[in-house]
Amino acid sequence: MVGLLDIAPLTEKVAVGGAKVEVFGVSAKGIVSLLSRFPEARMLMTGKDVGVDRLMQMSGDAIAAIIAAGIGFPGDEAQEQAAGRLSVEAQADLLTAILKVTLPNGIGPFVEKLTALGAIVGNVAEVSPKAPATKSPN
């Protein structure tokens, strides 16, 4: 049987300044951190239509944080500062690769899975056993 340690993470190498930077998919922990810090990132992860122009309007701090998370250093201030100093083209290349490896099937299928999970969790809460109603004697 295959265990989680046997599965190689999906990665991509991105050329930046003559070097290759390895990009990983952002983990659930990284996504939660990003969503709590940056409302703009919520649009990406909740399946809202986010065009290239909207991506470029996101704050530089959010972009740098996404890049740091995507290279395996979520919340690392030094990595975020380094990402913030990259050219816009390098940032766009890294963001494209990060989204590709984080959500290899796209944002739409990811949102569908979250919606289905929410429905399951909601149904579990609805069918959970409740204490039987008691009648008080009059």
Position with higher pLDDT, 74 vs 7: 74
DSSP class of residue 131 equals P
Residue with tokens 């959970």, as numbered in its chain: 128
* Backbone φ/ψ region at 37: left (φ over 0), alpha (ψ -120 to 50), beta: alpha
Provide the strand spans (E) within the chain: 11-16, 19-24
pLDDT 10s digits, 117-130: 777 877 655 544 45
CA atoms of 113 and 110, how far apart (whole Å) = 5
65 contacts: CB under 8 Å, gap ≥ 6: 34, 37, 38, 41, 74, 75, 80, 83
Q: How many CB atoms lie within 10 A of CB 12?
A: 17
Query: Highest-confidence range of 19-33, 84-98, 123-137, by mean pLDDT?
Result: 84-98
90 contacts: CB under 8 Å, gap ≥ 6: 16, 17
pLDDT 10s digits, 21-42: 999 988 888 888 888 887 766 7
CA atoms of 31 and 27, how far apart (whole Å) = 6
DSSP class of residue 5 equals G
